[in-house]
Structure 1
Amino acid sequence: MSTQSLSPVARLVRRVFHGRNPLTRASDRVESTVFVVAVLLALLGVPIAAAIGSEVHARESAVSADQMAGRHQVKAILLQDSAPGAANGVTGLAVRASWVAPDGTRHEGEVSAAHDLAAGAAVPVWIDGSGAVTSPPLTPDGAVITAIGLAGSLWLGLVCVLCSAYLTTVHLARRGNARRWAAEWAEVEPRWTRRIP
């Protein structure tokens, strides 16, 4: 049966598992071994990455719960106009404002505001337990995304390393085969091409 009539899976199996084929070179067996080991390590990496992702999720969920309990969103009232508008409403300008914390204490400081807002405009800000402006809390969804992202990145990194190792093995094996073929041809070619008198 010709290799052309085989399915892609059958061709892959035949390429990886050479059996007792007398034409199989040592370099072919090395390539096959590296391929099989790389696939097994990639499969073994799935539960390991999942376990790491689970640990990260547990840790990030605790951080999220702590931040959600300790941070509050309040309205800050601008005490001055924000800069006029070349940046199409992009936030990030530091503007003086005041706000009231959940315990009733009044605070003043700089908050991030969009362009073209007049003094007296209200902007939402997150504050911590002391009433200072802080970043938004990590949400439970954010904890899940962080865990999945880290686990996926670890596994993809492992796959990239394994693919590089396999491709390097193939490259070195083919270079070695080409060198051996050139050396053998250099030995045989003069006898084949010698002119008969």
Structure 2
Amino acid sequence: MHHPTKGTGANPLRRAADRTRTHMHAAFALTCLLAVIAGFALGRAAWTDGHRTAENVARHRHTVTATTVGETSYRAGDQPSSRPVTVAAATWRYPTQRPHTETIPVPVGTRNGDTVRVWVDDTGRAATAPPRRADIVLNAVAIGTGALAGIVLAGGALVAVRLRIVDTRSARSWESEWAGVEPLWSGRLRPGQGAGDD
């Protein structure tokens, strides 16, 4: 049952499977560290890109005062689970007094002739507002956290599979070695051994 070990003062009871388990646990710890670094780097990159994009969009967005010219109605949201949006036809002038009339989202309770603020692009057409800082932060956190979780889960799954293989092989090895030792240890005869056999 003796397995040679490497190094001065090495534990003779420490088997190859034990060393493999130690290496796998160390590999998982390293994977977690790399996941934190990668998650932080991707989150920071998403924040930088999102901030740069928001600044670029903001340079081409303007708010103007529009006047509603019709009654409000409801329009389905952008997503299937979104709530309906209150909209109304409105008119405004941008740029240089150029008139525009479009159907835009308005607050609930808006009446014909009310004024509302609307975001427009450089040509004066209705446009979305620049991304908010909170949205950029949430996106960066989601990307960073997703990367971290994905790497940890993938690394954990690989380590778990490897440990399962090591445990299975170790159990088979123990059974094989015990089958050779147990008859001598217990005094029980092995198959094919006579009472006078040594």
TM range, smaller chain: 0.5 to 0.7
Q: 1:116 to 1:144 in 2, by over 3 A?
A: closer
Q: Secondary structure at the match of 1:156?
A: helix
Which of these residues, 70, 76, 86, is aligned with residue 66 of structure 2? 76
Deviation of the 1:107 alpha carbon: 0.9
Which of these residues, 77, 89, 101, is aligned with residue 94 of structure 2? 101
Equivalent-residue separation in structure 2 for 1:178 and 1:155 (angstroms): 34
Query: For the Cα contact (< 8 Å) 2:95–2:123, is it kept in 1?
Result: no
Deviation of the 1:163 alpha carbon: 1.6
Q: For each residue in 1:127-186, what CA deviation from the matched residue of structure 2 results, as whole angstroms up to 9, or x when unmatched?
A: 111111122102345434433432332222212212222222222222333444455566
Query: Is 1:58 matched with 2:48?
Result: yes
Query: Is 1:129 matched with 2:142?
Result: no
| TM-score computed with the length of structure 2 as normaliser | 0.67
Q: 1:91 to 1:190 in 2, by over 3 A?
A: same
Equivalent-residue separation in structure 1 for 2:66 and 2:179 (angstroms): 84
Range 96-105 or range 62-71, more displaced: 96-105
| 2:166 partner letter | A
| 2:154 partner letter | V
Count of aligned pairs between the two proteins: 174
Instruction: Find the counterpart in structure 2 of residue 146 from structure 1.
Output: 139
Q: Secondary structure at the match of 2:73?
A: coil
- Structure 2's unaligned 5+ residue stretches are 1-8, 75-82, 190-194
Which of these residues, 10, 29, 48, is aligned with residue 39 of structure 1? 29
Q: For each residue in 1:18-42, what CA deviation from the matched residue of structure 2 results, as whole angstroms up to 9, or x when unmatched?
A: x833333322221211221221233
Larger radius of gyration: 2
Query: For the Cα contact (< 8 Å) 1:31–1:166, is it kept in 2?
Result: no
Identity of aligned residues (%): 24
Instruction: Find the counterpart in structure 2 of residue 175 from structure 1.
Output: 168
Equivalent-residue separation in structure 2 for 1:132 and 1:185 (angstroms): 82
Equivalent-residue separation in structure 2 for 1:175 and 1:67 (angstroms): 58
Equivalent-residue separation in structure 2 for 1:94 and 1:123 (angstroms): 11
Query: Is 1:155 matched with 2:148?
Result: yes
Equivalent-residue separation in structure 1 for 2:152 and 2:69 (angstroms): 54
Q: 1:98 to 1:177 in 2, by over 3 A?
A: same
Q: Secondary structure at the match of 1:133?
A: coil
| TM-score computed with the length of structure 1 as normaliser | 0.67
Instruction: Find the counterpart in structure 1 of residue 80 from structure 2.
Output: none
Q: Secondary structure at the match of 1:149?
A: helix
Root-mean-square deviation over aligned CA pairs: 3.4
Deviation of the 1:92 alpha carbon: 1.6
Equivalent-residue separation in structure 2 for 1:153 and 1:173 (angstroms): 30
Instruction: Find the counterpart in structure 2 of residue 3 from structure 1.
Output: none
Q: 1:132 to 1:186 in 2, by over 3 A?
A: farther
| 1:74 partner letter | V
Query: Relative to total residues, which structure has the larger helix share, 1 or 2?
Result: 1
